[in-house]
Amino acid sequence: MSTTTTATTAAATGKPSIITIVGSGMMGSALAFPARENGHTVRLTGTPLDREIIDTCRATGRHPKFTKDFPAGVEYYQIDELEKAMAGADMLICGVSSFGVDWFAEYMLPRIPESLPVLSVTKGLIEDGDGGLVSYPEYWARRAAPRKLRLNAVGGPCTSYELVACDQTVVTFCGDDLETLRWMKSVMQRPYYHIAVSTDIMGVESAVALKNAYAYGVCITIGACERVYGKDSPPHYNSQAGAFGQSMLEMQKLLRLLGSNNDEALATGIGDLYVTVFGGRNRLLGKLLGRGMPLDAALKELEGITLEGNVIVGRIAKVLRAWAAQGRVDLREFPLIAHLGEVLLDNKPAEIPWDAFVTESRR
């Protein structure tokens, strides 16, 4: 009997499942809350970089970045205890950041049974070797071939600390198989954690990756206003809204280029952009750049903070430049992401190209 069938039957009869989370960063750890609150066995397992986090969780029952204890009964494992952590698991949650994608491919993929569903929180796109981009689930599927792993992902406007606080949250689980997605939804959904499902993996994953890039554009405008009016000045929304609207337009065009016309996926990305602008880590770098700080100095000030937006800006900008050289796209249709590429790849000053946003349109 397949893992999905067994787990679905268990869910229908009220039998708890075993959820193993690999990667004890903030988002992977946050998912321990709804899973454990639903009565499932939750095994939070650190990567080789998470040893201190797991030690702290074991000693205090709390993640060092959270202000709320884990639900009673969450179990904690170091990476060298992975075999024990995965024994009998019904679902594996990948909680690594985009900087851990290759580690997950090299270390974890060979250890994952083909029958075990995987849900990844990792957001990003990666070069496919042919001048394009693919989602992380697709990248891992190619790395795992000829074995066929059951790779799924979660995207949407969700900050880890607000999920832990039980704020109303709407996300999307995406994957190839609706039955698997519906089962994972039944395992993880809570009165505050609302889960849509989609088989448009590339659409959802592209949208939530792009938001990390475009958050810089909006947050540069926040820093620019602080440079002019002072850090303690009232918020200035016109420029934020102008950059946000341009971000939406470019995200829609990019999703089409990447093979998705899914309005729901676009909405997921736009919602994720909104929450990242107001509460994400990429906000910090955007504001510093907008204040006029050189890139090297800004990165030094934020040393130790995971900035996944840097990765996706670089990859999108490089691919768009290559496509433009081939005549496949006109970079004038993507002035904001093209400028962000200049800032992060070419070390140019962050000066939003406002006039490039102005167009003539007809019905």
Share of the chain above pLDDT 70, in %: 96
pLDDT at 308: 80
pLDDT digits (tens, 9 = 90+) for 8-20: 434 444 679 999 9
pLDDT digits (tens, 9 = 90+) for 158-194: 999 999 999 999 999 999 999 999 999 999 999 999 9
Q: 264-283: b or e for each residue (b if 16 or more CB lie within 10 Å)?
A: ebbbbbbbbbbbbbeebbbb
Tell me the average pLDDT across 130-155.
96
The residue count for the chain? 363
Dist. CA 136–CA 138, nearest whole Å: 5
pLDDT at 304: 79
pLDDT digits (tens, 9 = 90+) for 227-262: 999 998 898 999 999 999 999 999 999 999 998 988
**Cis peptide preceding 234, ω within 30 of 0:** no
* Cβ contact 153:119 at 8 Å: yes
Q: Which CATH superfamily is domain 208-357 in?
A: N-(1-d-carboxylethyl)-l-norvaline Dehydrogenase; domain 2 (1.10.1040.10)
pLDDT digits (tens, 9 = 90+) for 37-89: 999 999 999 999 999 999 999 999 999 999 999 999 999 999 999 999 999 99
Domain positions in the chain: 3-199, 208-357
- Tokens representing 262? 């899914």
pLDDT at 309: 83
Confidence band of 108 (pLDDT split at 50, 70, 90):
very high
Give the Å distances, CA to CA, from 358 to 99, 196, 243, 245, 332.
36, 35, 12, 11, 11
Rg of the chain over all Cα atoms, to the nearest angstrom: 21
DSSP bridge partners of 126: 134
**Averaged pLDDT score across all residues of the chain:** 93
Strands of the chain (E only): list them. Answer: 18-22, 41-45, 75-77, 91-94, 117-120, 125-127, 133-135, 150-155, 169-174, 193-198
- Which residue type, as a one-letter code, is found at position 110? P
More confident residue, 61 or 309: 61
Least confident range of 3-7, 54-58, 186-190, 340-344: 3-7
Give me the architecture of the 3-199 domain, per CATH: 3-Layer(aba) Sandwich (3.40)
* DSSP state, residue 298: H
Dist. CA 232–CA 10, nearest whole Å: 54
Q: Is the pLDDT of residue 196 over 70?
A: yes
269 φ/ψ angles, rounded to the nearest 5 degrees: -70, -40
pLDDT at 12: 44
